[in-house]
Amino acid sequence: MNQPGQGYGRSIDNSAIPNVIFVLLVANGLVFVLQRFQWELLLQYFALWPIHTPPGWPSFLPWQLVSYGFLHDPNGLAHIFFNMFGLWMFGRDLERLMGPQRFLIYYMACVIGAGIIQLIVVEFQGEVYPTLGASGGLFGILLAYGMAFPNRTVMLLIPPIPMKAKYFVIVYGVLELFLGVSGYAPGVAHFAHLGGMLFGFLLLRHWSGRRN
């Protein structure tokens, strides 16, 4: 396991909100406000739609693999709040550890990877619905956090149980797999979350191999 200050990069920003995290928080917030005025337009062109859709439905467009990660449920604050809170909580130390450029590459790779997995899952399901949210990137960050700081204690929100970061990541991964296979929590892209973790792990392994 990599220890803080080693492996991925160097600490270069000691501010409360590092640069990339700040930009991501602002960008997601601005898009959320824009959704209040242009939701149908944003949903049609910037949410992630399946590759094959019936005539008259919105079509898949390549940039949706990135843009969907900046859209959130416009009917409440819970979706964007928990994603942005997790991004801030777990992403700060990772950005300081990796450096801003590598952290941004990692985050976007997780978002895109989660979108790719979601497209594959939807294709097998044969259903048509849009996917949106930054959760794929967030789950990739959770994985990297657990690998970089395995013995740090983190606190679950519901229920408020403290546990080491490495067990926190394992619990969330297993839970997402169970919910995805069982279908007990419909309307949530569980396999996309796992896709973010998978692509994040592969990228970290790739960087580790190049370093060795």
Give 154's strand partners: 163
In this predicted structure, the answer to whether residue 8 has a pLDDT above a threshold of 50 is no
pLDDT (mean) for 114-120: 96
CATH code of domain 19-211? 1.20.1540.10
Q: CA distances (Å), 117 to each of 81, 90, 100, 140, in order?
A: 24, 23, 26, 13
pLDDT (mean) for 29-40: 95
Q: CA distances (Å), 174 to each of 10, 22, 82, 154, 181, in order?
A: 31, 30, 19, 17, 11
The pair of three-digit structure tokens given for residue 145, joined into one six-digit string? 């956090």
In this predicted structure, the answer to whether residue 36 has a pLDDT above a threshold of 80 is yes
d(CA 196, CA 141): 8
Q: At 157, is the pLDDT very low, low, confident or very high (cuts 50, 70, 90)?
A: low
Under DSSP, is residue 42 helix (H, G, I), strand (E, B) or coil? Answer: helix
pLDDT (mean) for 131-157: 93
In this predicted structure, the answer to whether residue 6 has a pLDDT above a threshold of 60 is no
pLDDT (mean) for 47-66: 96
Q: At 30, is the pLDDT very low, low, confident or very high (cuts 50, 70, 90)?
A: very high
Q: What is the pLDDT of residue 46?
A: 98
Q: What is the pLDDT of residue 7?
A: 44
Q: What is the pLDDT of residue 158?
A: 65
Q: What is the pLDDT of residue 10?
A: 46
Q: What is the pLDDT of residue 181?
A: 86
